[in-house]
Amino acid sequence: MIHPLADVKTDIIGDGTTIWQFAVVLSGAKIGKNVNVCAHTLIENDVIIGDRVTIKSGVYLWNGLRIEDDVFIGPNATFTNDIMPRSKQYPEQFPKTTVKKGASIGANATILPGIEIGCNAMIGAGSVVTKSVPDNAVVIGNPARVVRYLEHNN
């Protein structure tokens, strides 16, 4: 289902995906099956989203982002894709940022470019992730630091 007030330019959308009002999805984006894209979101061209992903309101997915299956992205989580941003000056290629299968990102977390968030990792609300996060790690704070590891897929 694509809400009539969404602006969706891509044709690559899996079955069962819902895109709510005021979402903007550019033409090159690839979205998997059974994804929930909430209101007030943006998905740029060079973004790939797996199956069963939840993207809450206020999330902008910039070029270079790869989201694997079963990922949760909380409200207003912030991704960045330029290490040295300058107005009207763009890198030749944006760094790739990957959120691996089953990871969860809490509300208002900030994810710097070019890192990997491991399988089943949990990013605490408001955390600032400045480096890659291992599989099953729980990270919190600014900068985010590992506080424990999950023993199984929670």
State yes or no: pLDDT of 124 exceeds 60.
yes
Mean pLDDT (the chain, rounded)? 96
With 70 as the cut, is the pLDDT of residue 154 above it?
no
- Domain with residue 37: its CATH number is 2.160.10.10
Which pTM does this prediction carry?
Answer: 0.94
Q: What is the domain extent for residue 36?
A: 1-154
Query: What was the pLDDT predicted at 90?
Result: 87
**Does pLDDT of 109 surpass 60?**
yes
pLDDT in tens, 8-57: 999 999 999 999 999 999 999 999 999 999 999 999 999 999 999 999 99
Mean pLDDT of 102-117: 98
The DSSP secondary structure of 7-71, one letter per residue, reads EE----B-TT-EE-TT-EE-TT-EE-TT-EE-SS-EE-SSEEE-SS-EE-TT-EE-TTEEE-TT-
**Which tokens belong to 46?**
């060079």
Domain count for the chain, please give it: 1
Evaluate if residue 152 carries a pLDDT over 80: no
Q: Note the pLDDT of residue 132.
A: 98
pLDDT of residue 153: 55
Q: What is the pLDDT of residue 151?
A: 85
**Quick one: average pLDDT of 112-140?**
98
